[in-house]
Amino acid sequence: MMSTLSACDKSPSEHLQALTAGKYPVANMPEEPLETPLEINIEPKRLAMTSSWSAGVKDDGTLWTWGTDGLLRDTKTGQDPTPRQVEGVNDAVAVSGGGGHMLLLRQDGTVWGWGSNSHGEIDPSDDDTFIEELREIKGIENVIGISAGTQVSFFINNEKDVFVLGNNEYGVLSTDKDKILNKPTRIKGLRNIVKILGGADSFLALNVEGDLYSSAISSHSLGKENVKALVTETGKKYYPVTRIELKKRIVDFDYSYANLAPLENGEVWSWRDTNYTGSGKSKDSFIFTPTRILGLSKVNKVNAFSVNTNDGDLYLWGLSTTKCEKCSNGGNSSYFYQPVLISNDIKINQFADSFSSTAYIDDNGYAWFVGNNRHGEKGTGEVQTDEYITKEKLLVPEKSLFNIHANK
């Protein structure tokens, strides 16, 4: 999420207008498709974030961490804003971050986790709520894809089946009565999956053909209307695995407060919470089925609240949280209801695996972060000490000390 200083005497809409005026124009691209259709993006993630720390995988297979907590090394304060190598790991393939835990995929197909274990998302046999060391996740092997979700961990094996570990109280993941899954459990109804993202109450999964599937406890998360809800043995209502219908092949997606689905022709479609869909709507409501984000075309990379176009433009939208302790009303919150241009001439190789932040690796292998740095999660060697930062500093991508190249 983004934060910026708000004027106490301005409404959210007035603040947004001031923020985007001139320097940050709203996306207004012509409806022009890509000349060459995009392929499905199944590239392993090399950069990931939780709510307080970050991690990256270099091209020599080493793992690096920085930020606050979850660093896999001793520090005096539990914080280190400088990326440093984790000892004993030189075979890393991918890393994934959820709200409070991370997963590491290694070359032998094993998965290791660390961080929050409050719902057994790493080791359901351990009562510790936070695991401070790398721990192998038992009961799953030959893994080719990982995703650390909200209170859960997802795994894709070499047969492209999906398994999950963690909180099962909503019944979305498994019809088993166990509230905490005691071992990695296969999700029924998913076949030939190449990517999955989500949490205990909903998820999205993309298959090899470019078909996107969802399951959720609420209709606004599902992405399709008129689907009949089912009820588990424990009385929980949920919507079963359902195919989301779009006219073109889906080549990627991202899951957050709003869900995004870029198509092979460079269009981007979204649904769920309107504050984050980029639809231009400015009220607390939901979009139930995928709706095209107007003003965006020729998009080739996406994450939760950002896109990179084929021309190198970087757009951002979503919540801008504001705080003003001196204001009589306690301040207010403003939203970027439509994508705003924050930078250009940027070629993004890969967005970070992150639920609510914008970070990416450029085509030269360097990591960049947008937004706050309250926990040292940008990896710049510094921690943000100012309660407020200007919008110029907030929205300008900041280069991290981490890069994917082993020799730099």
Say if residue 6's pLDDT is above 70: no
pLDDT for the residue numbered 230 = 93
Q: Which DSSP symbol is given to 137?
A: P
- pLDDT tens by residue, 156-189: 999 999 999 999 999 899 877 789 999 999 999 9
Q: Burial, 221: exposed, middle or buried (Cβ in 10 Å; 0-12, 13-18, 19+)? A: buried
pLDDT for the residue numbered 320 = 60
Q: From residue 189, how far is each of 56, 161, 205, 213 by CA, in Å?
A: 32, 9, 11, 9
- pLDDT averaged over every residue in the chain: 89
Say if residue 75's pLDDT is above 80: yes
Average pLDDT over residues 204-224: 96
Average pLDDT over residues 90-104: 96
Which pair of tokens denotes residue 245? Answer: 């219908």
- What's the pLDDT band for 4 if we cut at 50, 70, 90? very low
Strands in 69-119 per DSSP E: 79-85, 92-97, 101-106, 111-116
pLDDT for the residue numbered 93 = 98
2-3 and 314-321 as β-strands: parallel, antiparallel, unpaired? parallel
pLDDT for the residue numbered 334 = 60
Q: Which of 59-68, 120-129, 329-338 has the lowest mean pLDDT?
A: 329-338
Say if residue 94's pLDDT is above 90: yes
pLDDT for the residue numbered 176 = 76
Position 328: which residue type? S
pLDDT for the residue numbered 145 = 98
Q: In angstroms, how far is the first alpha carbon of the chain from the final one?
A: 30
- pLDDT tens by residue, 217-229: 999 999 999 999 9
- What's the pLDDT band for 284 if we cut at 50, 70, 90? confident
The answer to whether the beta carbons of residues 219 and 226 sit under 8 Å apart is no
Which pair of tokens denotes residue 157? Answer: 């094996």
Q: How far apart are CA 54 and CA 342, in angstroms?
A: 23
∠ CA 106-109-113 to the nearest 5 degrees?
Answer: 55
- pLDDT tens by residue, 375-385: 999 999 999 98
∠ CA 221-310-93 to the nearest 5 degrees?
Answer: 65
- What's the pLDDT band for 3 if we cut at 50, 70, 90? very low
* Between residues 107 and 333, the one the model is more confident about: 107
pLDDT for the residue numbered 177 = 78
Helix (H) or strand (E) holding 145, with range, is strand 143-149
**Within 79-145, where are the H helices?**
none
Which pair of tokens denotes residue 337? Answer: 């209801």
pLDDT for the residue numbered 387 = 72
Q: Supply the pTM of this predicted model.
A: 0.92
- Greatest mean pLDDT range, 3-7, 27-31, 320-324, 331-335: 27-31
